[in-house]
Amino acid sequence: MSTEYRYDPEEIEPRWQKVWADERTWEVSNDVEGRDKSYVLVMLPYPSGEPHIGHLKVYSVGDAVAHFHRRTGRHVLNPMGYDAFGLPAENNAIKTGEHPRDSTKKSIESFRRQFKRWGISIDWSRELATCEPDYYRWTQWIFLQFYNAGLAYRKAATVNWDPVEETVLANEQVVDGRGERSGALVEVRHLEQWFFRITDYADRLVDGLDEIEWPEHVKTMQRNWIGRSEGAEVTFRCEDLGVDYPVFTTRPDTLFGATFFVLAPEHPDIEKLAAGTGHEDEVRDYVNRALTTDKEDRGNADRTKTGVPLGRTVTNPVNGEQIPMFVADYVLMEYGTGAVMAVPGHDQRDYDFAKTFDLPVKRVVEGVPDEGGDEDGLPYTGPGVLVNSHPDFDGLDKTAALEAIVRWLDREGKGNSSTNYRLRDWLLSRQRYWGCPIPIIHCEACGTVPVPEDQLPVILPDVEDYKPKGRSPLAAATDWVNVPCPSCGKPAKRETDTMDTFVDSSWYFLRYTDASNDEAAWDPEILKRWAPVDQYIGGVEHAILHLLYARFFVKALADLGHVDVQEPFAKLFTQGMVTKDGAKMSKSRGNVVSPQDIVAARGADTARTYILFIAPPDQDADWADEGVDGVYRFLSRLWRLSAAAADGPGAGADQPDVESLSPADLELLRKAHWAIEKVTNDMAGRFNFNTAISAVMELTNDVSRAVNERGDAEPQAVRFALATAASLLFPFAPHVAADAYSKLTGDRVWEQPWPAADSELLERDTVEVVFQVNGKVRDRASVPATASKNELEALAMASPKVQAHLEGKTVAKVIVVPGKLVNIAVRG
């Protein structure tokens, strides 16, 4: 091929980016009524430094989907924004004094520049950043809607307090009872905190999962997080104190096997119970130790059980037995009632505790002993019938017994069936600076007073010092803090806590639909046209919290009449990680591949196509520089072939008349239709981008062979095949595809409908069959696809090349695989 054609992404890519920017090609109007809409959304990035390889991957995935949807006739919304509040910018501010607003702005600019440099087809008119007042005004507005509906409330909560950082830590930031960053022993404090009442939605959050097309493992994670469990609440009474202690149990059928009773160390009655029993000191020491033990650890089944007796008993309501009370850290205050009836015969943790403290173990369910139990097969958790309980229940299957016992408890007023959730209300307040201010004013006379809506946004004030000192840094902004009460006018103070950044990202997808509305968070009529997001794309690390919070927001906003869908994301796709040499990329390992470097060296099209080519996008993929070169050569070949064909004979890229083509050219045409079919199937509803790209590679290679090896290819067939390749490649490598397509046709590929495969050209009426003698290929023939075994055998025998190898030999056996081969086994 002539060397005058040189693929130059540095020239091609900015040229097409300019067209898209000047013409605002990817902007979409809200006038979608009656049209087929598609809302394609990739999770918004947290802007920090420069985008990394994971961003390149996820936005390449999103863009491929968006382009495919556009070209298959849908009206596509594909917006971009930034999750711009949060700790890294604030910690940087503490270190350097640079205002988080300034460092965040710089990062946003660099993210925006890269996304444009990558040619991602974003509707930039809807861009938002959650730290901007015209965005967080509406975050505050939503908070107030929730507040007014009783869904946002304030209460004292036990929190993890880091005495060195002087701030509250999230559970995930506590490692082995110490602050993750400071290493200081975490203290338990009771502080007033703000919560969202997400637990009110627990059932709907579980049930709604059935209506959405999400990966099963993500649904499972959500279900486990919510942790709905069905059981009963049963009341045990401490006669000494005259106090009732309800427990939550999933196994009321084992009530007759309860041999002791355990309270969580945080239980508010512990001190009162121990008082005067002689156990006070022991109990106090134990409780203090337990409070700083990691919660996750405490619940761990394998852990050696610890605890101390309280010196009291409770009455088992089903048989009047007095059973001893203990405090033990395997019981958690946050779950159920913070108290359990312990049934060592049928529960492993209770069993371990009973063995440690030499307490009786009683069997009340008999079945087939399961493996791993003691000599009596205990604790036993399998199916079976009740024993050692009560004549009314003994002999009943345990499920039937469970129901019968709950009915009995209910009648006696000693219990009732009950559902319990692991999910807790969402603690959303943070004693930190760089977040959305909570729009509340505290007045001594009126209590908590919402900031009137017409005074929103409550602007985040500037402060001198970003370090939390036992309170939010905002508390130091006294001019800002001191305001008259909106209700009585007396001096009052603003709430100084800010919101968890998960609040900001729980509704951004609603804002995109009507992003420049300055009278409302969105116009419900417009939102209705776009919601829900048809395809949501992001990392599996957000499988639990972000997705759960966003689902809660949508359900709550729907109940308040602002949204008319129940689920925000109809379909979810979670992409895998990009690794290097099998390991996660990290600065400390020194194996970080920078998308900027690849784009600078090889162009955005190569970077994007490569990252989608290495593996199915939901799987982890290992980066290899040689692979990048291979993709670059492929794009280069496609572009050079197209440029040469465009300058050669023929015109446009219409399909040539099939009748006029040589068999070889017809094959090329067939290959193009095969590729259309393959890529379309790989993309429609699926994300098999790697095999789609490899189909376009195959087609391009066939064109290359036809042009460079065969030499007599019909120019129009070549043009058609190349334009098809470019058209199919456009969702992955938009610049080179647009350029090649425009050279061949003068048209803009993104304005063309997605190509359709001609079914007649897909049907293969002839196939190539190989003829072998003793496994060696001796000849080939093009035969009707329907040729029978006998016909194929006859054809093979008739071939002169085959006959030459049969001379003087005896035919022992003939194997025929229709459509593929004939193998003749010979002897002698």
In the complex, the residues that contact ligand ANZ under the rule CB under 6 A are 229, 248-251, 254, 264, 331-332, 335-336, 338, 340-341, 343, 346-347, 420
Q: Which residues contact 703 (CB under 8 A, 6 or more apart)?
A: 641, 668, 718, 721, 722, 725
Q: How far is the CB of 258 from ligand ANZ (least distance, A)?
A: 7
491 scored as a contact of Zn ion (CB under 5 A): no
Task: Write phi, then psi, for 415 (nearest 5 degrees).
Answer: 175, 175
Give which of ligand ANZ, Zn ion, none residue 526 binds (C-beta under 5 to 8 Å, depending on kind): none
Q: How far is the CB of 484 from Zn ion (least distance, A)?
A: 8
The position carrying tokens 């440099």 is: 117
Q: How far is the CB of 248 from ligand ANZ (least distance, A)?
A: 5
The position carrying tokens 């195959």 is: 698
Give which of ligand ANZ, Zn ion, none residue 443 binds (C-beta under 5 to 8 Å, depending on kind): Zn ion
Nearest to ligand ANZ of 131, 341 (CB atom)? 341
* Binding test (CB under 5 A) with Zn ion, winner from 87, 446, 624, 797: 446
The position carrying tokens 């959730």 is: 421
Q: How far is the CB of 154 from Zn ion (least distance, A)?
A: 16
Q: How far is the CB of 419 from ligand ANZ (least distance, A)?
A: 9
What Cα–Cα distance (Å) separates residue 63 from each residue in 68, 118, 386, 423, 687?
A: 8, 10, 60, 35, 12
Q: How far is the CB of 476 from Zn ion (least distance, A)?
A: 23
Nearest to Zn ion of 445, 601 (CB atom)? 445
Q: How far is the CB of 156 from ligand ANZ (least distance, A)?
A: 20
- Within a 10 A sphere around the Cβ of 7, how many other Cβ atoms? 22
* Binding test (CB under 5 A) with Zn ion, winner from 417, 487, 566, 701: 487
Q: How far is the CB of 359 from ligand ANZ (least distance, A)?
A: 14
Nearest to ligand ANZ of 230, 462 (CB atom)? 230
Nearest to ligand ANZ of 347, 504 (CB atom)? 347
Dig out the tokens for 420 from the structure: 């319990």
Give which of Zn ion, ligand ANZ, none residue 249 binds (C-beta under 5 to 8 Å, depending on kind): ligand ANZ
Nearest to Zn ion of 170, 488 (CB atom)? 488
Count Cβ neighbours within 10 Å for each residue of 213-243 and write b for 16 or more, e otherwise.
ebeeebbebbeebbebeebbbbbbbbeeeee
Nearest to Zn ion of 485, 792 (CB atom)? 485
Q: 186: part of which helix (H) or strand (E)?
A: none
Give which of ligand ANZ, Zn ion, none residue 346 binds (C-beta under 5 to 8 Å, depending on kind): ligand ANZ
Nearest to ligand ANZ of 65, 341 (CB atom)? 341
330/357 Cα distance (integer angstroms):
14
CB 57 within 8 A of CB 19: no
Q: How far is the CB of 187 from ligand ANZ (least distance, A)?
A: 22
198 scored as a contact of Zn ion (CB under 5 A): no
Give which of ligand ANZ, Zn ion, none residue 445 binds (C-beta under 5 to 8 Å, depending on kind): Zn ion
Q: How far is the CB of 384 from ligand ANZ (least distance, A)?
A: 12
Give which of ligand ANZ, Zn ion, none residue 293 binds (C-beta under 5 to 8 Å, depending on kind): none
What's the helix, strand, coil split of the chain in %, to 5?
40, 20, 40
Q: How far is the CB of 401 from ligand ANZ (least distance, A)?
A: 12
Amino acid (1-letter code) at residue 138: W
The position carrying tokens 């196939």 is: 767
334/171 Cα distance (integer angstroms):
13
- Which ranges of 344-436 does DSSP label H, i.e. alpha helix? 348-357, 398-412
What DSSP assignment string belongs to 627-659? HHHHHHHHHHHHHHHHHHHHHSSS-S-PPPPGG
What DSSP assignment string belongs to 708-720? III----HHHHHH
267/329 Cα distance (integer angstroms):
11
Q: How far is the CB of 346 from ligand ANZ (least distance, A)?
A: 3
Give which of Zn ion, ligand ANZ, none residue 338 binds (C-beta under 5 to 8 Å, depending on kind): ligand ANZ
- Would the annotation count 587 as a binding residue? yes
Nearest to ligand ANZ of 209, 343 (CB atom)? 343
Give which of Zn ion, ligand ANZ, none residue 340 binds (C-beta under 5 to 8 Å, depending on kind): ligand ANZ
674/424 Cα distance (integer angstroms):
53
628/198 Cα distance (integer angstroms):
46
Considering only the stretches 377-385, 446-454, 505-513, 750-758, report the one whose residues sit in contact with Zn ion under the rule CB under 5 A.
446-454
Task: Write phi, then psi, for 139 (nearest 5 degrees).
Answer: -60, -45
Query: Going residue by residue from 682 to 701, which x/- string records binding to Zn ion, judged by CB under 5 A?
Result: --------------------
CB 610 within 8 A of CB 603: no
Nearest to ligand ANZ of 331, 653 (CB atom)? 331
The answer for 714, left when phi > 0, alpha when psi is -120 to 50, beta otherwise, is: beta
Q: How far is the CB of 448 from Zn ion (least distance, A)?
A: 10
* Binding test (CB under 5 A) with Zn ion, winner from 1, 149, 170, 488: 488
- Which ranges of 23-169 does DSSP label H, i.e. alpha helix? 53-71, 87-96, 100-117, 133-148
By DSSP bridging, strand 821-827 and strand 766-773 are parallel
How many alpha carbons lie under 13 Å from residue 617 in its C-beta half-sphere?
33
Nearest to Zn ion of 238, 492 (CB atom)? 492
Q: How far is the CB of 224 from ligand ANZ (least distance, A)?
A: 10
Give which of ligand ANZ, Zn ion, none residue 826 binds (C-beta under 5 to 8 Å, depending on kind): none
CB 602 within 8 A of CB 557: no
Nearest to Zn ion of 12, 485 (CB atom)? 485
How many alpha carbons lie under 13 Å from residue 402 in its C-beta half-sphere?
16
Considering only the stretches 112-120, 222-230, 481-489, 735-743, report the one whose residues sit in contact with Zn ion under the rule CB under 5 A.
481-489
451 scored as a contact of Zn ion (CB under 5 A): no
Give which of Zn ion, ligand ANZ, none residue 341 binds (C-beta under 5 to 8 Å, depending on kind): ligand ANZ
Give which of ligand ANZ, Zn ion, none residue 331 binds (C-beta under 5 to 8 Å, depending on kind): ligand ANZ
Give which of ligand ANZ, Zn ion, none residue 343 binds (C-beta under 5 to 8 Å, depending on kind): ligand ANZ
Count Cβ neighbours within 10 Å for each residue of 157-175 and write b for 16 or more, e otherwise.
bebbbbeebebbbeeebbe
443 scored as a contact of Zn ion (CB under 5 A): yes
| Secondary structure of residue 219 in the 3-state scheme | helix
Give which of ligand ANZ, Zn ion, none residue 488 binds (C-beta under 5 to 8 Å, depending on kind): Zn ion
Length of the chain equals: 828
483 scored as a contact of Zn ion (CB under 5 A): no
445 scored as a contact of Zn ion (CB under 5 A): yes
Nearest to Zn ion of 74, 154 (CB atom)? 154
Nearest to ligand ANZ of 331, 557 (CB atom)? 331
**How far is Cα of residue 211 from the mean position of the Cα atoms in its chain?**
17
Nearest to ligand ANZ of 79, 257 (CB atom)? 257
Give which of ligand ANZ, Zn ion, none residue 336 binds (C-beta under 5 to 8 Å, depending on kind): ligand ANZ
298/307 Cα distance (integer angstroms):
12
The answer for 243, left when phi > 0, alpha when psi is -120 to 50, beta otherwise, is: beta
Return binding residues.
587
Site of interaction with Zn ion (CB under 5 A) = 443, 445-446, 485, 487-488
Return binding residues for ATP.
587
